[in-house]
Structure 1
Amino acid sequence: MFPYKTSFLLKRNTSQALYLQLSNQFITLIKNNTLPSNTKLPGSRVLAEMLNVHRKTVVACYEELLLQGWIVSIPKKGTFVNTDLPLLHYQKSTNDIVKSIKSKANFSFKKSKILERKTFPELTNFTVINDGVSDHRLTPIDDIARTYRRIASKKSTIEQLTYKSTYGNIRLREALVSYLNETRGLQITIDNILITRGSQMGIFLTAILLFKKDDLVVVGETNYIAADVTFSQSKAKILRVPVDENGLNTDAIEKICKKKRIKAVFVTSHHHHPTTVTLSAKRRIHLLNLSKLYNFAIIEDDYDYDFNYNHAPILPLSSHDSLGNVIYLGSVCKTVAPVFRIGYLIAPKDFVDEAAKHRRYIDRQGDALLELTFAEFIKSGDLDRHIKKVLKIYRQRRDLFCKLMTEELSAYFSFEVPKGGMAVWTILDKKYTWKQVSETAKRHQLEIGDWERYDLANNNHNAIRIGFASYTEDEIIELVKKLKQTMNSLDFL
Structure 2
Amino acid sequence: MSSPVLLSLSSFVTLDRNTSTPLFVQLAQQIINGIQRGFLATGAKLPGTRIVGDQLNLHRKTVIAAYDELQAQGWIDIIPNKGTFVLLQSKTKQAIPSAKPPLSSSQYPTKTGYDIQASNILDNPFEENIVPYSFSDGNTDIRLTQVKNLSLQYSSSMNRKGSLKRMSQYHENGSLYFKEQLSNYLNLSRGLHISKFNLLITRSSEMSIYLIAKVVLKPLDKVIVAELSNFAVNMTLLQAGATLETIPLDEDGISIAALKDKLKAGPIRMLYITPHHHYPTTVTLSAQRRLELLQLANEYGFVIVEDDYDYDFHYDKAAVLPLASADTNGMVIYTGTFGKSLAPAFRTGFVVAPHNLIQEMNKYLGIIDRQGDIIMEQTLGEMIEEGEIHRHLKKSLKVYRDRRDNMSELLNGMLKEHISFDIPNGGLATWVEFYQTKSLMSIKERCLKHGLLVPRHILYQNRQISAMRIGFGHMDTQEMEESFSILKRVLESF
Q: TM-score, normalised by structure 1?
A: 0.93
- Output aligned runs, 1:53-68, within 5 Å: 53-68=58-73
Structure 1: tracts of 5 or more residues without a match: none
The equivalent of 1:398 in structure 2 is 404
1:198/1:333 contact within 8 Å kept: no
1:87 is displaced (CA, Å) by: 4.0
1:440/1:486 contact within 8 Å kept: yes
Per-residue CA deviations over 1:470-493 (Å, capped at 9, x if unaligned) read: 101111111111111111222xxx
The equivalent of 1:247 in structure 2 is 253
Aligned residues: 484
2:458/2:470 contact within 8 Å kept: no
The equivalent of 1:22 in structure 2 is 27
Which of 481, 487, 491 is matched with 1:483 structurally?
A: 487
The equivalent of 1:97 in structure 2 is 104
Per-residue CA deviations over 1:225-255 (Å, capped at 9, x if unaligned) read: 1111111111111111111111111222122
- Aligned partners of 2:460 and 2:160: how far apart in 1? 48
- Aligned partners of 2:136 and 2:57: how far apart in 1? 58
Are 1:470 and 2:474 an aligned pair?
Answer: yes
Which amino acid in 2 is paired with 1:197?
R
- Output aligned runs, 1:331-342, within 5 Å: 331-342=337-348
1:371 is displaced (CA, Å) by: 0.9
The equivalent of 2:3 in structure 1 is 2
- Aligned partners of 1:410 and 1:250: how far apart in 2? 33
The equivalent of 1:311 in structure 2 is 317
The structure-2 alpha-carbon separation of the partners of 1:49 and 1:273, relative to structure 1 and needing over 3 Å to count, comes to closer
1:78 is displaced (CA, Å) by: 3.3
The equivalent of 2:206 in structure 1 is 200
- Output aligned runs, 1:403-422, within 5 Å: 403-422=409-428
- After TM superposition, the structure 1 stretch with the greater mean CA deviation from structure 2, 280-289 or 24-33, is 24-33
- After TM superposition, the structure 1 stretch with the greater mean CA deviation from structure 2, 438-447 or 113-122, is 113-122
1:69 is displaced (CA, Å) by: 2.8
RMSD (Å), alpha carbons: 2.1
Which amino acid in 2 is paired with 1:198?
S
Which amino acid in 1 is paired with 2:61?
K
1:166 is displaced (CA, Å) by: 2.1
Q: Secondary structure at the match of 1:131?
A: coil
The equivalent of 1:39 in structure 2 is 44
The equivalent of 2:92 in structure 1 is none
Are 1:108 and 2:115 an aligned pair?
Answer: yes
1:181/1:187 contact within 8 Å kept: yes
Which of 218, 233, 237 is matched with 1:231 structurally?
A: 237
The equivalent of 2:157 in structure 1 is 151
- Output aligned runs, 1:385-464, within 5 Å: 385-451=391-457, 454=460, 458=462, 460-464=464-468
Are 1:262 and 2:290 an aligned pair?
Answer: no
Which amino acid in 1 is paired with 2:116?
F
- After TM superposition, the structure 1 stretch with the greater mean CA deviation from structure 2, 337-346 or 273-282, is 337-346
- Output aligned runs, 1:312-391, within 5 Å: 312-391=318-397
1:31 is displaced (CA, Å) by: 4.1
Which amino acid in 2 is paired with 1:246?
D
Which of 184, 187, 190 is matched with 2:193 structurally?
A: 187
- Aligned partners of 1:51 and 1:234: how far apart in 2? 54
1:53 is displaced (CA, Å) by: 4.1
The equivalent of 2:129 in structure 1 is 122
- After TM superposition, the structure 1 stretch with the greater mean CA deviation from structure 2, 334-343 or 228-237, is 334-343
- Aligned partners of 2:251 and 2:181: how far apart in 1? 35
1:41 is displaced (CA, Å) by: 2.6
- Aligned partners of 1:214 and 1:152: how far apart in 2? 46
Q: Secondary structure at the match of 2:346?
A: coil
1:56 is displaced (CA, Å) by: 3.3
Q: Secondary structure at the match of 2:481?
A: helix
Which amino acid in 2 is paired with 1:429?
Y
- Aligned partners of 1:388 and 1:106: how far apart in 2? 55
Structure 2: tracts of 5 or more residues without a match: 90-94
- Aligned partners of 2:259 and 2:481: how far apart in 1? 42
- Aligned partners of 1:459 and 1:172: how far apart in 2? 48
Which amino acid in 2 is paired with 1:265?
L
The structure-2 alpha-carbon separation of the partners of 1:45 and 1:284, relative to structure 1 and needing over 3 Å to count, comes to same
- Aligned partners of 1:95 and 1:342: how far apart in 2? 46
Q: Secondary structure at the match of 1:376?
A: helix
Q: TM-score, normalised by structure 2?
A: 0.92
- After TM superposition, the structure 1 stretch with the greater mean CA deviation from structure 2, 395-404 or 437-446, is 437-446
Q: Secondary structure at the match of 1:155?
A: coil
1:133/1:334 contact within 8 Å kept: no
Q: Secondary structure at the match of 1:351?
A: helix
Percentage of pairs with the same residue: 38
2:173/2:362 contact within 8 Å kept: yes
